[in-house]
Structure 1
Amino acid sequence: MGIRRRALTLAAVLGLATLAQLAPAEAVLKRPPGGGESCTYSVSDDGYNATAVCKNNNNHPIEFRAVIVCGWDWDTEGPWVTLQPGKRKSSSGRCGGSGVGGVSVDVRDL
């Protein structure tokens, strides 16, 4: 009986650890831009590169990245960029064969 109980406990612990890995912390913290950020978006003349430029109007640092919808190709994202209060930076990415269909950003509070 003791061995069975320990085996069930171990299985439960391993199951919870696996579930924690399936939901990365990043997924919980991402949000769309709010009142504390001002962002502009642009697409290059050739239609394949997209850029998001954000300014952090908050009193704490944030991170953001460009989220790019690519026509018939896989969507892509720019790198995460850390922004201190009052600063402005950009994140950009490139679409493959069909070009950019839209641009937005993901934001994380630090």
Structure 2
Amino acid sequence: MRTRRRALALWAVLSLATVTQLSPAEASVMRPPGGGEACTYSVGSSGYEATAVCKNNNNHPIEFRAVIVCGLSWDTTGGWVTVPPGKRRSSSGLCDAFGTGVGSVSVDVRDL
């Protein structure tokens, strides 16, 4: 009986710790760019850095980040960037030098 209580208490503590690690920003829904965003993508001359530039044509702010597929190394993402209505911002990332460079670039968008 005592073991069962300890196991239940441990489960409760671990569950609570996991729930408290979720941040509100990460809980919002990511989506591909839609009609309210105009995004362009480029790869640097080295072939290992990629940049996404998005203009927000919505009437509310958005956040986006570059999502970069790297050949023969781990894929990467740029930092989240907040874009007010009517403005343009960029997000970029770098592929590992041991890989074959950038394979493709896209963005994740979330409405604020």
Over 3 Å counting, the alpha-carbon distance change for 1:95 and 1:12 in structure 2 is: closer
| Root-mean-square deviation over aligned CA pairs | 2.8
1:87 is aligned with what amino acid? K
Are 2:28 and 2:110, in contact at CA under 8 Å, matched by a contact in 1? no
- Residues 24-81 of structure 1 show CA distances to partners (whole Å, capped at 9, x for unaligned) of 6525511111111010000011101000000000000000000000101111010111
Q: Secondary structure at the match of 1:30?
A: coil
Count of aligned residue pairs for this structure pair: 109
Q: So what's the TM-score if we normalise by structure 1?
A: 0.80
- Segments of structure 2 that go 5 or more residues without pairing to the other structure are 1-5
Runs of 4+ deviating beyond 3 Å: 9-25
Q: So what's the TM-score if we normalise by structure 2?
A: 0.78
Q: Percent identity?
A: 63
Q: How does 1:65-84 map onto structure 2 within 5 Å?
A: 65-84=65-84
Residue 88 of structure 1 and its aligned partner are, at CA, apart by: 0.4
| Structure 1 equivalent of residue 3 of structure 2 | none
Over 3 Å counting, the alpha-carbon distance change for 1:21 and 1:101 in structure 2 is: farther
Mean CA deviation greater in 38-47 or 9-18: 9-18
User: Residues of 2 paired with 1:27 and 1:100: CA distance?
Assistant: 28
User: Residues of 2 paired with 1:108 and 1:96: CA distance?
Assistant: 27
1:44 is aligned with what amino acid? G
| Structure 1 equivalent of residue 54 of structure 2 | 54
- Segments of structure 1 that go 5 or more residues without pairing to the other structure are 1-6
Q: 1:107 aligns with which of 88, 92, 109?
A: 109
2:107 is aligned with what amino acid? V
